[in-house]
Amino acid sequence: MRPLTFALPKGRLLDPTLARLAGLGISIPEGPARQLCFSSVDGSIEFLLAKPADVPTYVALGAADLGAVGTDVLMEGDWDVLRPLALGFGRCRIVVAARTDDSAATETQPRRVATKYPRIAERYFAEQRLQVDLITLRGSVELAPLVGLSDWIVDLVETGATLKANGLVPIAEVASTEAQLIVNRATHKIRRREVQDLIAALEAVATC
């Protein structure tokens, strides 16, 4: 039977994911990281390297059996994947942030809110019964209030340093996030023992 295929997220979650797998003796070959598909050194796992927002797509549609991704990505989509294990790293918060001189509390007109997470933001403001105009951006969301594009932003914050450097402060927390192991539903059915063993091993190595 072919090895399981694991979708790795590029960016901040990549190194801790590889470190967790290394704890199981699963390591990747050294060398220039230009390939997007490669095998573990021991050949037990095939890896895909994907943008974090695409990891659930690869797993949901069966191009990968498993993957690691932030819960922010899962909250933004509606992915039909299993989420059996919170990996315990990559902890962040999704916050509403405003300029330090923001006067939202005294104004009543709809606020303009820039975000990479339109669905999360829409749900949050609906729950808060706040009417806002959402502006979807692909990145560098902190820029929007600085140039008058928006009043607030909804964005992922790890330490808050980027917000602070751009004169922004969190004014509300929307959700907390962390890295999550996700599994293709069909793989979990048909290779259950193998997948359950891997989940148990990843859980065990986290608590060591």
Partner 1 sequence: MTTPNRWIGACRTSSITMVMDRLRSVFASWMYTEVSPSLLEAPDGEGRSALLIPADRAPTREGNTQLRSDFTAAIARSIALSERGTPRPVRRSYAGTVFRRSPRSDSLTEVRQAGVELVGAPSPAADAEILCLAAEGLDAIGATGAEIHIGHAGFVRALLRAADLPSEVESQICNQIARHERTALESTLTAAGVSGELMAAIVGLLDLAGNASVIRRARALTDDPVCRATLDELEEIFRLADSPAVMIDLSEVRDLTYYTGIRFEAFAPGIGCPVLRGGRYDGLLGLYGDPEPAVGCAFEVEPLSLLCANLDSDAPSSMLLRFPVDRWAEAQTAARRLRAAGSRVALDPEVIPSEEVSDYVAANGIDEVELLDRALTGRPS
CB of 191 to partner 1, least distance (A): 8
Q: Which region among 19-27, 37-45, 79-87, 110-118 touches partner 1 (by CB under 8 A)?
A: 79-87
DSSP three-state, residue 109: coil
According to CB under 8 A, which one of 55, 68, 73, 82 is a site residue for partner 1? Answer: 82
Q: Does 184 bind partner 1 (CB under 8 A)?
A: yes
- Looking at the Cβ atoms of 72 and 151, the one nearer to partner 1 is 72
Q: Does 78 bind partner 1 (CB under 8 A)?
A: yes
According to CB under 8 A, which one of 9, 52, 67, 84 is a site residue for partner 1? Answer: 84
- Looking at the Cβ atoms of 146 and 186, the one nearer to partner 1 is 186
Applying CB under 8 A, the site for partner 1 has a residue count of 21
Q: Does 37 bind partner 1 (CB under 8 A)?
A: no
Binding map of partner 1 across residues 50-69, x = CB under 8 A, - = no contact: -----------xxx-x----
Binding map of partner 1 across residues 86-125, x = CB under 8 A, - = no contact: x---------------------------------------
Asked whether the beta carbons of 79 and 56 are under 8 A apart, the reply is: yes
Task: Tell me the sheet residues that pair with 180.
Answer: 69, 86
- The residues that touch partner 1, with contacts defined as CB under 8 A, are 1-2, 61-63, 65, 78, 81-84, 86, 183-190, 192
